[in-house]
Amino acid sequence: MQTSRPTSRLAYDDADTAATMAGDCAAVARTMHLPLRTRAFLTTPAPSLRYEDFPREVSKRDISVDAATAHLAAALELHLG
* Burial call 38-63: b when 16+ CB within 10 Å, e when fewer: ebeeeeeeeeeeeeeeeeeeeeeeee
pLDDT, tens only, 46-68: 888 888 887 777 777 787 888 88
Residues 6+ apart with CB under 8 A from 25: 42, 43
- pLDDT for 25 equals 80
**Mean pLDDT for the stretch of residues 31-59:** 77
